[in-house]
Structure 1
Amino acid sequence: MPTLGCGSHSARIVDRDGATITDAHVLTRVEWTRVLDDTSSATVTIRPDGGCCRLLDRVRTWRHNLQIYRNDDFVWEGPIILPDWSGDEVSIQAVDVLGWLDRRVPHESIHFTRRDLTEIAAWLIEDGFTPDDPGHDVQIIGRSRILGDREYVKDIEQTGDHLRRLAETGIDYTAVGRRILILPEDHCERVGRLTDADFPDGLTVSEDGTAIGTRWIVEGRDGVMGIDGGKDAYYGLLEQYVEESSILDEPSALAAARSRRRGSLPAPVFISSQEATLSPEASIDLASLVPGWCVDVTSTRTCRTISQSMKINGVKVTEDASGETVAVHLAPAGV
């Protein structure tokens, strides 16, 4: 059984044409993340040595990419959005490949009728990258089995915003390197099992009462409505309304309402990402810690006992002078 282990990081800055600008020889801090249904980020702090300073002077936003390796394994890549040059250090901030979609708009108008939401997501991504592709791959892990109507208009709104709104109605997505994974919201492939021993700093378990809803009303465009749920035998009646202007048909609105209710009932129990630092001895490898996959968690250390499948919502890896930490954000699987 693989274990998480301890990592040592290296970084490289590359041009969009693939040429290496420079290797970061001396890193004083590295932080990179993986997130669900959004764009992840990374930051490295470099102490230049020799000719590295001259090469770092050439770094330009959106032209150059940051690549990060852990124990020589490629773990993260994306365009640089904020370099900071100070007296003896250079800090480089970057976003993953999905960040490009926040700088793209639909390039043609299209109307989808009863199409699986994963196919619509794939179209948004491919359309966003078609005019100028920095390098990406799309992998559909499984169909959502939710058929819906959607309409997108040329040059209206950012593609990244369209994709985030679509993810609120029955799909998930995440980026791993240059791969963009699209998966059904109820995907829960298990990649490991964690217990209290795997969280040496302890856990903070929280129940989010602000998210709960026993009856959800989703309003789409032109008065389209989807309603799911009602009075719950345990909680009573807790109603929530949300507007999703991208939804054009009642089946999609109903699917969105059902998705919202499934994710909010019972009240979601979260494990805080800031507290859920994993032990290097945890029986799980970093490559399998992908948002959208699940781990079985059993914890009896707090007064709130947990023994359930939890979905990986985010991963944060940090290395500095004190060593490496790997933290996970876990939320109810909803299945």
Structure 2
Amino acid sequence: MSVCGTHSGRIVDRNGAVVAQVDTLLEVEWQRVLDDISEARVLIQPDGDCCAALGRVRPWRHKLVIYRNGRWVWEGPIVVPEWRAAGIVELTAYDPLAWLDRRVPHEDMRFASRDLVDIAAWLIRDGFAPDDPGHQVEILAPTKIRGDRQYERNIGQTGDHLRDLAETGLDLTAIGSRIVLMPENFCGRVGSLTDADFPDGLAVVDDGLALATRWIVAGKDDVLGEAGGKDAYFGLLERYVEQTSILDDRSATAAARSRLRTSNPAPVFIDSQQTTLSPEAPVEVERLVPGWCLDVTTTATCRTIAQSLKILGVRVVETGEGERVSVQLTPAGKAD
């Protein structure tokens, strides 16, 4: 059975020393998300010396590492340790992108006609330069979107700068200590699913609130870009956004096109957040990574879908009642 697992954990100091090995967890939950920070939570009832060791855990100093069936699946800094009566300890942790929400640019930098992945890689490298808790950057492919950007020393959070880039044609996700950068039309396939793999059913959601047929992106000073217009089917739905890190019209236009790709037609989500994948589902949970794709065929609702869908998020929960694995999927944006 592919979707059927048990978890264990480890607490690691920033110097690499193992603080505690946690082989029995009352509850565990971990996520993976696209273009944002994922979260994990474990509930522990430690025995013996483990209790004293967990009493020394401090936020941002120590890291939570989670294993599923003995295979590493998640890690990141502990941000909220909580000690309860009866010796129960709850640890909440975020993935390594969270550090970049606590970092700022450390030097002035201006990019001219550079690919978005190169700009993102610099932001990450600069963010971790003064104090690196251990990270890697993997670039799967260039976005082929080139533009001008400017960052000033001590201005803005590095994580916010990265999320701005993720709205203009770049995708990123954290897999443990590895930060993966890719174009938003990347779609490496990791498996195929049908209605039989969602025994509790699923929901197909057409997100009309995200629909837009024309985008206007305003950059710094008089920089402006636009894409789209009146749609023959939907009519005219216009959106305006300001991104002051954009310095040239070409980059603003590329940003507008990127937003248009994911908003017309309206995003259609397949959401299994309230259900669970079947234990016989032909996928490996460890390979369910946001940005990759699953081929999905569903005729269980009035909205039939048979296509390759991008993974937006993964959520794995194990309690005394067993394990639940859910995924959130959406079609990849249209090509220009």
The TM-score, its normalising length taken from structure 1, stands at 0.97
> What residue in structure 2 maps to residue 162 of structure 1?
161
What CA distance in whole angstroms lies between the structure 2 residues aligned with 1:157 and 1:317?
33
* Shift >6 Å, 4+ stretches: none
Aligned to 1:138: 137
Given that residues 80 and 94 in structure 1 are in contact (C-alpha distance below 8 angstroms), is that contact kept between their aligned partners in structure 2? yes
Give the aligned partner of residue 69 of structure 1: 67
- State how far apart, in whole Å, the 2-side matches of 1:200 and 1:115 are: 46
Equivalents in 2 of 1:326, 1:178: separation in Å? 22
Offset, 1:276: 4.9
- Whether the 8 Å CA contact 2:28–2:42 is kept in 1: the answer is yes
- The letter of the residue matching 2:270 is I
Contact 1:200/1:278, CA 8 A, preserved across alignment: yes
Q: State the shift of 1:273 in Å.
A: 4.3
Cα deviation 1:53-72 (Å, max 9, x = unaligned): 11111001111000000001
Asked if 2 retains the 8 angstrom alpha-carbon contact of 1:276 and 1:329, the reply is no
In the alignment, structure 1 residue 86 sits paired with structure 2 residue 84? yes
The answer to whether the 8 Å contact 2:36/2:173 transfers is: yes
SS in 2 for 1:218: strand
Identify the residue that residue 198 of structure 1 maps to in structure 2.
Answer: 197
Q: Which residue of 1 aligns with 2:261?
A: 262
Does the 8 A contact of 1:173 with 1:182 survive in 2? Answer: yes
1:15 equivalent in structure 2: 13
Amino acid at match of 2:15: D
Q: How does 1:16-55 map to 2 (within 5 A)?
A: 16-55=14-53
Question: CA offsets, 1:101-147, max 9 Å, x none?
Answer: 01111010000000000000000000011111111110000000000
Q: Deviations over 1:241-290 (max 9, x none)?
A: 11111111111111111111110111111112423521111111112211
Q: Distance in 1 between matches of 2:53 and 2:213?
A: 57
Name the structure 2 match of 1:175: 174
Q: Secondary structure at the match of 2:79?
A: strand
> Contact 1:270–1:330 at 8 Å: present in 2 too?
yes
- Cα separation, 2, equivalents of 1:220 and 1:279: 47
Deviation at 1:25, TM superposition (A): 3.5
Amino acid at match of 2:17: A
SS at 1:297 equivalent: strand
Aligned residue pair count = 333
Deviation per residue, 1:144-196 (Å, 9 max, x gap): 00001000000111101110111100100000011110000111122211110
* Percent of matched pairs sharing the same residue: 62
Are residues 1:282 and 2:275 paired?
no
Cα separation, 2, equivalents of 1:261 and 1:12: 43
Structure 2 counterpart of 1:87, one-letter code: A
Say which SS state the counterpart of residue 221 (structure 1) adopts.
Answer: coil
Residues in 1 aligned to 2:330 and 2:252: alpha-carbon distance in whole angstroms:
24
For structure 1, the residue ranges without an aligned partner over 5 or more in a row are none
The Cα shift of 1:74 comes to 0.6
TM-score, normalised via structure 2 length: 0.97
Looking at structure 2, the residues matched to 239 and 282 of structure 1 have their Cα atoms a distance apart, in angstroms, of 41
- For 1:96, the aligned partner's letter is D
